[in-house]
C-alpha cells in the first residue's frame, strides 16, 4: 500500500461537511435546492462604457443620502483641497479594463454551464446495444440491433446533477453579483470625478455687490 500523496495545492483542506440524515436511511438528505432550476438567478453581465463619461458633465444625484430634513449643524471649512483628476481617470480606466476581462471570462463560463448542464454529469447517457454472446458465425436477426440502451450510470448522473446544477448556478450568482458590484464601484469613481470637477467650476468669487 502506497503512502498518501501530499498535495502541494491544498495544505489545509476543509473538513468534510456534516451529513444531514433526518430520515435515518443512512444516506445524505437532498438539499433544499435539489432538482431546482436556478438559472433565473444567474445574472448576465456586460460593460456598458467603452469610454468613461467626461468629468466635465455635471454630476447627477445618485441617491443614498439621508431622507430627513437638513440639520443646522455648523460644518467647519475643510481647508485647501487638491484632487488629481488625471490620476483618478487613469485608475478608473485601469479598473474598467480589468472589469472587461472579468465579464468576458464570466460570460464564457455562464454560457458553458447553460449549454451542458443537462448532460455534463451523464444524465440521459445511452450506449449502443451489443448482443451478448455474439460470434461471427451467427446470422440470426436481433430486433434490438442498432438501437441504444440506457447507460447503467445514467441514473447516478441524474441524481448527482440534481444536487450539482443548483450549486453551480448559485456559484455563478455569487461571481456575477461581485462583478456587478465592481461596476457600481467604477460608476462611483466616475461620479466622484464629476463631483470634484463641478466643485472646482463652482469655486469662484461671487459677483461684486451693486454700487450704492
Asked, for residue 186, whether it belongs to a domain, the answer is yes
When pLDDT is cut at 50, 70 and 90, the band that residue 19 belongs to is low
Provide the residue range defining the domain that includes 102: 84-128+145-202
- Helical H runs in 33-153? 85-116
Residues belonging to the chain: 212
Asked, for residue 173, whether it belongs to a domain, the answer is yes
Mean pLDDT value of segment 18-41: 81
pLDDT in the model for residue 112: 95
Asked, for residue 67, whether it belongs to a domain, the answer is no
Helices (H) and strands (E) in the chain, counts: 2, 2
Burial status of residue 166 (CB atoms within 10 A of its CB: 0-12, 13-18, 19 or more): buried
Cβ atoms within 10 Å, residue 42: 20
Dihedral sign, Cα of residue 171, residue 174, residue 177, residue 182: negative
The predicted-structure confidence for 149-189, as pLDDT tens digits, reads as follows 778 888 888 999 999 999 999 999 999 999 999 999 999 99
Asked, for residue 119, whether it belongs to a domain, the answer is yes
Specify the number of domains making up the chain: 1
Amino acid at each position: 500500500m502506497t503512502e498518501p500523496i501530499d498535495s502541494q495545492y491544498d495544505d489545509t483542506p476543509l473538513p468534510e461537511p456534516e451529513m444531514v440524515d433526518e430520515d435515518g436511511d443512512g444516506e445524505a438528505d437532498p438539499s433544499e435546492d435539489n432538482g431546482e432550476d436556478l438559472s433565473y438567478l444567474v445574472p448576465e453581465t456586460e460593460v456598458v462604457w467603452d469610454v468613461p463619461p467626461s468629468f466635465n458633465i455635471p454630476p447627477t444625484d445618485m441617491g443614498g443620502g439621508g431622507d430627513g430634513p437638513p440639520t443646522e449643524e455648523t460644518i467647519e471649512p475643510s481647508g485647501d483641497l487638491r484632487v488629481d483628476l488625471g490620476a483618478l481617470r487613469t485608475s478608473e480606466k485601469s479598473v474598467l479594463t480589468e472589469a472587461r476581462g472579468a465579464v468576458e471570462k464570466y460570460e464564457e463560463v455562464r454560457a458553458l454551464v447553460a449549454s451542458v448542464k443537462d448532460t455534463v454529469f451523464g444524465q440521459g447517457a445511452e450506449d449502443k446495444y451489443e448482443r451478448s454472446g455474439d460470434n461471427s458465425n451467427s446470422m440470426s436477426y436481433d430486433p434490438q440491433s442498432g438501437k441504444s440502451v440506457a447507460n447503467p450510470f445514467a441514473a447516478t448522473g441524474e441524481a448527482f446533477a440534481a444536487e450539482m446544477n443548483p450549486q453551480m448556478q448559485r456559484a455563478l450568482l455569487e461571481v456575477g453579483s461581485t462583478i456587478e458590484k465592481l461596476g457600481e464601484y467604477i460608476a462611483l469613481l466616475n461620479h466622484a470625478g464629476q463631483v470634484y470637477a463641478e466643485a472646482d467650476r463652482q469655486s469662484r468669487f461671487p459677483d461684486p455687490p451693486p454700487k450704492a
